[in-house]
């Protein structure tokens, strides 16, 4: 049922005159008459008694008017709500990896609450692999992670890039030397969750450069990984952005390794919807927060991405070659 026809019905019931209704709706009397005739045909009832100059509601028309006014009011409220972000209400389910939680995520959430004060955020913190799985199952509306998501009605926005560095506890006293991958292999190697981009990269890196098998200790918790580094359990390849406090307190140091590491891309993936741009707008807020953060810190902490998320430096590095640092 056409909403414009219902609006025409409501106005004609109030004004009781075809000419005045046509002027109010900026259309013709013939158009008003046609809309009412179509509604009467759809409802199977006569809505108005036509007089010489005015019209009057029939009994069936009075009954229909109650529902028409309710529908028109609901549509008007929906239009107003869509036009003004402050009126958005409901729940947005966001999945996010810990590397983001420990960097610019608080600023992003604060921005969402400022722009959409009536919106409820439901958060899930997990690994990229699990977040993409939940997103693919329809359990999340937006995921902030490291890999582009391919699928119908899915869009990816580049957020920022985190350079990756080898780090170790200050007590290991490794930060003053230039180290090789073989030197690092003398310690337990720590990494993010198994089969994640960083984990796969480390395995390929050592397979290519070191003629000796290594065992990578994988953790799903970034907080636990950082704590193990602080406790000198081993060395790790992680973004300095998530250890700002540890670096400031000098419990952890960046290591000088003779092989350059690629950056870790951060990506927002969301479903596009012709009915609501909300998910895209929230993803754009995430992009704005991430890139504002990247511009506020040194390049060795975070960078604004130059390319599209479909061809990230990290993914290319997993299958490509590494370079010597200069």
DSSP 182-248: HHHTTS-EEESSTTSHHHHHHHHHHHHH-SS---EEE-S-HHHHHHHHHTTS-EEEE-GGGGHHHHH
Q: What CATH class does 87-162+264-315 carry?
A: alpha beta
d(CA 45, CA 249): 79
Provide the pLDDT confidence category of residue 220 given band limits of 50, 70 and 90. confident
- Listed in order, the ranges of the chain carrying CATH 3.40.190.10 are 87-162+264-315, 165-261
pLDDT at 35 over 60: yes
Specify the higher pLDDT residue, 25 or 309: 25
Q: What percent of the chain has pLDDT over 70?
A: 88
State the span(s) of the chain assigned CATH 1.10.10.10.
3-83
Q: Model confidence at 57, in pLDDT bands (50, 70, 90)? A: very high
Q: Identify the band that residue 20 occupies on the pLDDT scale cut at 50, 70 and 90.
A: very high
Cα 138 from Cα 271, distance rounded (Å): 10
- The answer on pLDDT for 309 being more than 70 is no
Query: CATH number of the domain at 3-83, out of 3.40.50.300, 2.40.50.140, 1.20.120.1200, 1.10.10.10?
Result: 1.10.10.10
For the stretch 98-128, pLDDT in tens is 999 999 999 999 999 998 888 899 999 998 9
> What is the rounded average pLDDT of the residues 197-224?
85
pLDDT at 197: 82
d(CA 137, CA 125): 16
Label residue 305 by pLDDT band (50, 70, 90): confident
Apex CA 120: angle with CA 117 and CA 122, to 5°? 145
Tokens of 87: 């009126």
Residue 187 has pLDDT above 90, yes or no: yes
Residue partners of 118: CB distance under 8 A and separation at least 6? 86, 87, 88, 89
Residue 262 per-residue DSSP state: P
Please say if the pLDDT value at position 39 is more than 90: yes
What pLDDT score does 275 carry? 53
pLDDT in the model for residue 321: 37
Angle at 208 between CA 203 and CA 209, to 5 degrees: 100
Which whole number is the average pLDDT over 253-270? 92
Per CATH, which fold does 165-261 belong to?
D-Maltodextrin-Binding Protein; domain 2 (3.40.190)
pLDDT of residue 251: 95
Largest pairwise CA distance in the chain: 99
21-26 average pLDDT score: 90
pLDDT digits (tens, 9 = 90+) for 129-156: 899 999 998 899 999 999 999 887 899 9
Q: Tell me the DSSP string of 74-111.
A: HHHHHHHHHH-GGG--EEEEEEE-HHHHTTTHHHHHHH
What average pLDDT does the structure give for the chain? 86
Instruction: Answer whether residue 313 shows pLDDT above 50.
Output: no
Tell me: pLDDT of 85 over 90. Answer: no
Whether residue 163 is predicted with pLDDT greater than 80 in this model: the reply is: yes
For residue 303, what is the DSSP state? B
Q: Whole-prediction pTM value?
A: 0.67
């Amino acid at each position: 049922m056409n909403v414009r026809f219902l609006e025409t019905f409501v106005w004609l019931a109030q004004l009781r005159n075809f000419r005045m209704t046509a002027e109010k709706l900026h259309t013709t009397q013939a158009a008003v008459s046609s809309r009412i005739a179509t509604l009467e045909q759809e409802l199977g009832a006569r809505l108005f008694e036509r007089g010489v100059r005015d019209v009057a509601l029939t009994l069936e028309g009075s009954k229909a008017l109650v529902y028409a006014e309710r529908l028109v009011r609901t549509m008007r409220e929906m239009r107003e709500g869509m036009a003004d972000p402050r009126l958005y209400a409901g729940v947005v389910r966001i999945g996010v990896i810990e590397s983001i939680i420990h960097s610019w995520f608080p600023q992003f959430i604060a921005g969402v609450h400022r722009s959409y004060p009536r919106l409820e955020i439901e958060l899930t913190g997990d690994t990229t692999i699990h977040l993409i799985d939940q997103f693919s199952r329809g359990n999340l509306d937006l995921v902030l992670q490291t890999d582009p998501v391919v699928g119908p009605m899915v869009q990816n926005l580049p957020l920022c890039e985190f350079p990756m560095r080898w780090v170790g506890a200050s007590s290991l006293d490794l930060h003053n030397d230039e180290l090789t991958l073989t030197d690092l292999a003398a310690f337990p190697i720590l990494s993010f969750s198994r089969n994640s981009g960083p984990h796969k990269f480390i395995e390929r890196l050592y397979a290519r450069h070191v003629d000796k098998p290594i065992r990578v200790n994988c953790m799903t918790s970034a907080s636990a990984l950082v704590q193990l580094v602080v406790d000198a359990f081993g060395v790790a390849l992680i973004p300095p952005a998530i250890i700002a406090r540890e670096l400031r307190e000098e419990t952890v140091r960046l290591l000088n390794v003779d092989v350059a590491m690629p950056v870790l891309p951060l990506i927002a993936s969301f479903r596009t919807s012709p009915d609501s741009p909300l998910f895209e707008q929230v993803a754009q807020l995430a992009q704005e927060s991430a890139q504002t953060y990247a511009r506020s810190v040194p390049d060795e902490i975070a960078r604004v991405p130059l390319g599209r998320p479909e061809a990230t430096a990290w993914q290319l590095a997993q299958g490509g070659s590494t370079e010597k640092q200069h």
